[in-house]
Amino acid sequence: MKRPSLRVFPLIVIGLLAFFAVSSAQGESEAPEVLTVVTWGGSYEDSQRRAYFEPFTNATGIEIETVHYDGGVKVLREHLASGDVQWDVIDMIQSDASAACEEGLLALIDPAILAPAPDGTPAQEDFMAEAIHRCFITQIVFSTVIAFDDRAFPGVKPDSVEDFFDLEAFPGKRALRKSPVGLFEWALLSLSVPREQLYDLLSTRRGLELASRRLDDIRDAIIWWTRGDESVELLTSGQAVMATGYNGRFFHARAMEGAPISVIWDGQLIGFNSWAIPRGSGQADLAADFIAFATRSENMAAQANLISYGPARKSAQQRVGLHTDAGVPMRPYMPTAPSHMANAVIRDHQWYSQTVELREQWFREWLAH
Amino acid sequence: MDTGVFAYLVHKVNIERMANRDFTCSMDRGGVERIVYQISVVTVVAILVGAAASLAAIGFVDAVHYLNDRLLISPYARIQADHRSGLVTAATLIVPATGGLIVGLVVHFLVREKRGLAPPDAILAAQTSGPAPGIRSGLASTFAALVSLGSGASVGQYGPLVYLGAMFGNLVGHLRLNLRHQRSIAIACGVAAAISTAFNAPIAGLVFAHEVILRHYSLRAFAPVTVAAATGYIIANVIFDRPALFLVNFDRVEHSYEFVFFALEGVMCAGLAWVFMVLLRLSANVARRYIAPPWARPAVAGLIVGLVALWIPEVLGIGQETLRFATIEGAFGIGELALIIVAKLVLTALCVGFGFVGGVFSPALLIGILFGAFYGLVLPYVAPVPHSGLVVYAICGMMALASSVIGAPLTTILIVFELTRSYDLTIAAMVAVVFANLISYRVIGRSLFDLQLRARGFDLSLGRDKAILETHRIRDYLSREFTSASDRETVGDVRQRLVEDHRSEAMILNQDGELLGVVRLQGIVNSHADAPVLQAAIQSFTTFDEDTSVWQSMEMLRGFLGEAVPLVDRSGRLQGVVPEEAVIRAYLEIVHDLREEENEAA
């Protein structure tokens, strides 16, 4: 017996109560209810649909509708300001969720809704450190990586962030997300700044100026993307030879669609996605039920077996195996695989959430420059 | 001095020494037990002192970082508070000044020495057996250093860490463990562990303790100090994970002629070190002259630092970020570098001179690396030949300046080696360091520490012998056996007494016991017996007083012809005499102890 079952008992009761509450809610209403989830589209959303949305609808009869989202706090702020709040659940980058929470844009989440691990380990111990927050529940570890089109470099392949900035050795267009995220980290990494000091240096005017000057070196070669699947398209269509993007999308393109894309793990930027409930959602209880459902170990593992994002709870990580359709082992593609961690940068969420305006202003100025 | 006597005494001491050695070599049961006891106790002491110093060093550095973040000193914290307008500006002006006020009050009212304790105090405690600053002073000084560094004063963290390590060593030094040179070895252990932890460089820590604190390399000290340094390293690496002071990428020195540039850079860094010392002295004088209450001085310095930081934020605190930028090509323009070098140099001198508590090593590293970067940027204009990039010149400058200031060439060379593991970089730094030290040793002296110690009367410039001989008082060798005479006696009385006493000298005293003169037998052999003895007395003769050191007594004995030197107190009363033999004996015993300490086996 690993844990005393007494501590688990109340959680089971709450889980059952929640389940009955959901069932009865379904029984009472005539028309099928709809829950609106705001998420990121493409193969990521597909994996969520198969691992979370469809099973949730099967279990409760509640339909899930999705609204497309490309990150940031601004759109959420504007949606809430419109007065007609349609969004029930939102899948946010942790630093955005943290900033939104401070702005009062998110409803509080009772951590008691989280189910314990199948072996009875309480959720508090099963989730990663700091995953459970009053405003959000962190669910996956994702990574923003640099990938390249294998066809573009028949000889020597690029293998570092420095190569991304080296237009002489590796000529061609670079696809970058049009957002002040990741750009400055890579700019400084390419100048051999150790990852431990990235955010210290980026906190100085000199650091940001240095990053600007480094980005100037590739300014004319940049193609901007905004939607997560665009960066994959830019590579597969041959418009760009190197692109930054989400590791799961690149995995999907390569493993599922056979696209000639390779990932450079050097300087991968590790981040976290979290479930949150916009303040003012008319179905906050239902939204909490959905989050409780989507954060169960077996459901999180099911998603990780569809796309290479690491689940944020240990019992789910232990259940990651072969890809549900393709049968490839998923663990080597996870951002947290030991071989990928040598020069990984863990995104500093506090820094990100406190520097939203500054980063946006810096980015605007650099673009206009 | 009688060379015959001297030769005899040397011979005698040597024989005793050999006899002692024979004794320790004979491995009877008691001897083995004693050796086992010694080795185990010394090892335990080394591990305990090393662990305590290392944990304290980590705690100190973490606390400084915490304060820097909380008080909006670190750029990381400042940028996150940027959207609240005015907050950062207010903090920049208020924090260093308030910190200065706290430091001033703590130092003035809680530290008995009324100044921050620093490596010179550690050196003194390890070198001499005199009383060291107490634990209360040590803790208060460490707290003041924490506030100084936490509130962004331009001072270093390694000085307080070294003292902290020495404080633990000193505590252990008081235990009755029956080990020879217990205190100095324990202090060296603490210092080695502190440096080993702070730089993550155990070999540098080990060498620093010998090069700066102990000033010798005996195996007896070497073994425990190594254990302590390793303990510090293990704790720093295994238990806590701290990023290195600097991480650089460097392949190799491309052209052999660059070594000339490194040497030249070293010479220039020695000049910069000299400027730094002059500024330090100037700033201390200015503080004394214009700000009467000593406790108010750091606050003034803090306010000036804050004002300058509004314009040049790089001057605040230790400047980890600036240190890193110095090794990145394109981070600074030449003019910017010159400005920051001057500002940092002046403000560090200001902060230290005005009484902020902290070291000079970190600022010297920072100013040095900036100067190195400056040199590397200017060089292509002066000597238009290809060179190996900025990094190597930056590191050379860093180490050349720092080694001149703290007088530790080996340590700084080893820090480069341990932090970069680059042989080429180490050799380049070595050349710069050696040339810097060659010059600075002549112009300034061995180090800032030695200058400070000399100002306090402990002069290491001619090596340990003179400094230690200066700390011993000759009155410890006082003899009460002498012939005295009253000033009313006649030559005949005194002559008779000298013959009876088998002496050739008599001390003439008045009723109060004050020394009036010395009479020598050869001067009164033919004098009239009824003449007053005072007439025959020698008026100018050598005397010692209560404060005369062994070193001074030897200097004063030049050309001395008598038997013994009278020693008088402040009011002129005779306390006793010091026979010539006793001076030689004092010298031989002290020097013998030093040689023994330096040559002891484990």
In the three-class reduction of DSSP (H, G, I as helix; E, B as strand; rest coil), residue A311 is classed as strand
Distance between CA atoms of B460 and B281, rounded to whole angstroms? 19
CB atoms under 10 Å from CB of A321, counted, come to 13
The answer, for B325 touching chain A at a CB cutoff of 8 Å, is yes
CB contact under 8 A, A191 and B243: no
pLDDT for B602 = 56
User: For a pLDDT cut of 90, what percent of chain B falls above it?
Assistant: 52
Residues A147-193: tens digit of each pLDDT: 999 999 999 999 999 999 999 999 999 999 999 999 999 999 999 88
Between A and B, how many residue pairs show a Cβ–Cβ distance under 8 A? 67
Please report, in angstroms and rounded to a whole number, the separation of the first and last CA atoms in chain A. 64
- Choose among B160, B150, B159: nearest CA to B100: B150
Kindly give, in sequence order, each residue whose CB lies less than 8 Å from that of residue B403, ignoring residues fewer than 6 positions away: B409, B411, B412, B413, B433, B436, B437
CATH of A142-271+334-368, one of 1.10.357.10, 3.40.50.720, 3.40.190.10, 3.40.50.300: 3.40.190.10
CB contact under 8 A, A213 and B330: yes
**Which band of pLDDT confidence, cut at 50, 70 and 90, is reported for residue B7?**
low
Residues A93-147: tens digit of each pLDDT: 998 999 999 999 999 999 999 999 999 999 999 998 889 999 999 999 999 999 9
In the three-class reduction of DSSP (H, G, I as helix; E, B as strand; rest coil), residue B312 is classed as coil
This prediction's pTM: 0.82
Q: Which residue of B has its CA nearest to A199?
A: B76
CB contact under 8 A, A203 and B330: no
pLDDT for B516 = 87
- Choose among A8, A5, A294: nearest CA to A123: A8
User: Taking the domain B470-591, which CATH number applies?
Assistant: 3.10.580.10
For A273, phi and psi rounded to 5 degrees?
-105, 145
Pick from B65, B80, B83 the residue to mutate for testing the A interface (most A CBs within 10 Å): B80
Residues B398-415: tens digit of each pLDDT: 999 999 999 999 999 999
Residues B119-143: tens digit of each pLDDT: 999 999 888 877 888 899 999 999 9
By residue count, chain A amounts to 369
For domain B33-239, the CATH superfamily is: Clc chloride channel (1.10.3080.10)
Residue ranges per structural domain of chain A: 5-141+273-317, 142-271+334-368
Read off the tokens for A340.
């990928």
Is the Cα torsion angle B355, B358, B361, B363 positive or negative in sign?
negative
Comparing CB atoms, the residue among A199, A201, A205 nearest residue B324 is A201
Alpha-carbon torsion, ordered B46, B49, B51, B57, to 10 deg: -130
The answer, for B23 touching chain A at a CB cutoff of 8 Å, is no
Q: How close A138 comes to chain B (CA, Å)?
A: 23
pLDDT for B459 = 84
**Lowest mean pLDDT: which of A56-65, A160-169, B9-18, B42-51?**
B9-18
Comparing CB atoms, the residue among A191, A194, A204 nearest residue B321 is A204
Q: Residue B255 pLDDT more than 60?
A: yes
Distance between CA atoms of A317 and A298, rounded to whole angstroms? 10
Q: pLDDT averaged over chain B?
A: 88
Complex ipTM more than 0.90, yes or no: no
pLDDT for B465 = 85
Kindly give, in sequence order, each residue whose CB lies less than 8 Å from that of residue B118, ignoring residues fewer than 6 positions away: B159, B160, B162, B163, B359, B449, B452
pLDDT for B89 = 92
- Choose among B372, B357, B351: nearest CA to B279: B351
For domain B258-458, the CATH superfamily is: Clc chloride channel (1.10.3080.10)
B473: β partners: B549
- Choose among B573, B558, B551, B419: nearest CA to B484: B573
User: Taking the domain A5-141+273-317, which CATH number applies?
Assistant: 3.40.190.10
pLDDT for A25 = 47
pLDDT for B17 = 53
Residues B522-539: tens digit of each pLDDT: 888 888 888 888 888 887
**Which band of pLDDT confidence, cut at 50, 70 and 90, is reported for residue A51?**
very high
Asked whether the domain spanning B258-458 has the same topology as the one spanning B33-239, the reply is: yes
CB contact under 8 A, B76 and A351: yes
Residue ranges per structural domain of chain B: 33-239, 258-458, 470-591
Burial class of residue A168 (count of CB atoms within 10 Å of its CB; 0-12, 13-18, 19+):
exposed
Q: Residue B26 pLDDT more than 50?
A: no
